[in-house]
A and B are shown apart, each in its own frame.
Chain A
Amino acid sequence: MSIWQAFKMAVKSVWSNKTRSALTMLGVIIGVSAVIAAVGFAQSCMKAVSGLIEGLGSNVVTAVITDYSSRNSIKVSDLDKFAESSPYIESISPFVMKNDMVRGNGENKYTSILGANEKYLAMDNIEIEFGRNISSTDIQNSSKVAVLCSAVTKKLFPDGDAIGKTIKINGVSFEVIGTTKSTMNDADGTDDDQVIIPVNVAQRTLKISSVTMFMASAASSETIDLATQAIEKYLYSIFKDDDSFMIITQESMLSMLDQITNIMMLIIGGVATISLVVGGIGIMNIMFVSVSERTREIGIRKAIGAKKSDIMKQFLIEALLLTVVGGIIGIVLGVLIIKYVVGAIDALTPVYSKEWIIAAFTISAAIGIGFGVFPANKAASLNPIDALRNE
């Protein structure tokens, strides 16, 4: 008997038991669509996060001091001296930051207050829209001036007219000297949701004496490694401990993201495999029932000349048909979920993974064969005399 004949028989048999076939397929449909949707969601998230990281700029290094209890600390003046002495560091800006309430124009906004110097905006790719950046003179004079980033401007001064106005941070008045353009690369808007003031003023106003974080840029992306090493050496000379600080570069974050992605994919892959195996067991179950139900049919087929392999083919193709059709429906459903559910989240751009779609389909087909073999073999091995006697 040709495969085509066996296929036609299988289609007929699957079709004549529509409800049962649909229910059997459901396991595979849910399994495959869950895999594809979960992977698509994870990959869409990862893509958004890596977009954020890429927005950091490839020649920028951020150092975070994690050991607050240390007797050692960095002063703003130390940092400037270090930057001047190192040939690989082009510019550096200390950070003193705290989340606090900003009042102005009769409005309140809870935002991040960032004490930095005049070099910060350029390093973080933030552009001035109106007014000016803080200057080195502002720092020398400890001027109480502030640059508002776009989200803050929008809340406090919805009409956009902020320059020259006064805002209050921690009870201290600041004059707004500039506002920034919105940064498009930043999906959750952290770069847009802050107020920048001179670093020495921030230390006094926020009552933070030491620098907890700083950002430095290398002359080019080629010298970023050398700059990173110089910073590492400098921080080690102060803290004498690798665990007291953390250095973040675009590269280190991307490789970390890569690791996270891989782990997530492994977890999803594991869960997906389990759900597909459960679907496969469902198919095996139904196929066994089908074999017992059709014992007499198998006997008749054998009596009129069906070989063992003919019966095997018929049942195997039936199982395969259920998983393959289930797999295709699952893929369509999964892609639709990515398109309409993931696509509905503003921050995410849907990602469809060809590899995972192919993998999910292949696994479901393999499960069809794998779990179809036992029932098919049972059917094929039936003794025609016993099978015919079965009522």
Chain B
Amino acid sequence: MNTLGCLDVPTSGKYILDGEDVSKKNDDELAYIRNNKIGFVFQGFNLLHKLTAIENVELPLVYLGVSARERRERAHKALESVGLAERENHTPNELSGGQQQRVAIARALVTNPPILLADEPTGNLDSKAGKEVMDIFQELHQKGNTIILITHDADVAKQGSRTVRIQDGKIFEEGS
């Protein structure tokens, strides 16, 4: 997961992402790839609590160097696509778990990355909120986004178009 997300480089082997070998990149190049090519969705949401929903969504664009007006526009659209446009000025503490995770998805989407990487996105949610989040993933998938989703939940896993089972660090089973 850390390697896929370019948070870490592999100690051995190669990782080719979007046609580029990322195994030998330095910290700043990895930061750029994380910013531009990967959208993270974490189990614990990982939103910044002092910022409002829209400011959280804007943050990757800040690091990308996008102008303030364009940032606001794109963040608004991303929040709209997860159905939270009317709550954009609330801080994470004022949102439910499912809503927070949707803000996190909007944040992951806002840079239009080729890959969305979701690490147990439903793990901290009740089943209703979990379903909401999965519906959004389905919708995004239909629109053509690549989503890598890591889960323990067999029901969630079923929804993928391709499933890879990893056990004790080895690929155990692969199928579609």
Contact = CB atoms under 8 A, between A and B. Distances in A.
B7 interface: yes
A305 B36 contact: yes
A300 interface: yes
A297 B56 CA distance: 11
Interface of B: 2, 5, 7-8, 27-28, 31-32, 34-36, 40, 42, 46-48, 50, 59-60, 62-65, 107, 111
Contact of B31 (A9, A300, A307): A307
A306 interface: yes
Contact of B63 (A296, A306, A384): A306
A308 B63 contact: no
Contact of A309 (B2, B28, B34, B65): B28
B12 to A, nearest CB: 18
A347 B56 CA distance: 61
A89 B95 CA distance: 95
A13 B55 CA distance: 14
Nearest to A306: B63
Query: By DSSP majority rule, is chain A's interface helix, strand, loop, or mixed?
Result: helix
B35 A305 contact: yes
A384 B35 CA distance: 13
Given A12-B50, A16-B50, A304 B7 contact: no
Nearest to A2: B65
A308 B48 CA distance: 18
B28 A303 contact: no
Given A306-B63, A308-B31, A384-B7, A300 B48 contact: yes
Interface in A248-280: none
Nearest to B33: A305
B60 A305 contact: yes
Contacts of A305: 31-32, 34-36, 60, 63-64, 111
Given A5-B62, A384-B7, A385-B2, A304 B50 contact: no
A301 B59 contact: yes
A288 to B, nearest CB: 20
A310 interface: yes
Given A301-B59, A310-B63, 11 more contacts: A297-B48, A300-B47, A301-B63, A303-B7, A304-B107, A305-B63, A306-B35, A307-B28, A307-B32, A308-B28, A384-B7
Contacts of A304: 34-35, 40, 59-60, 63, 107
A1 B46 contact: no
Nearest to B107: A304
19 contacts: A13-B50, A301-B59, A301-B63, A303-B5, A303-B34, A304-B60, A305-B35, A305-B36, A305-B63, A306-B63, A307-B27, A307-B28, A308-B27, A308-B28, A309-B28, A310-B63, A384-B7, A385-B7, A388-B46
A300 B7 CA distance: 11
A297 to B, nearest CB: 6
A144 interface: no
Closest 5 CB pairs of A and B: A305-B35, A305-B63, A307-B31, A304-B60, A300-B46
Nearest to A17: B50
A385 B35 CA distance: 15
Nearest to B46: A300
Contacts of A9: 62
B40 A1 contact: no
A1 to B, nearest CB: 5
A303 B65 contact: no
Nearest to B27: A308
A1 B50 contact: no
Contacts of B47: 300
A157 to B, nearest CB: 77
B31 A306 contact: yes
A307 B7 contact: no
Contacts of A310: 63
Most buried by A among B34, B40, B50, B63: B63
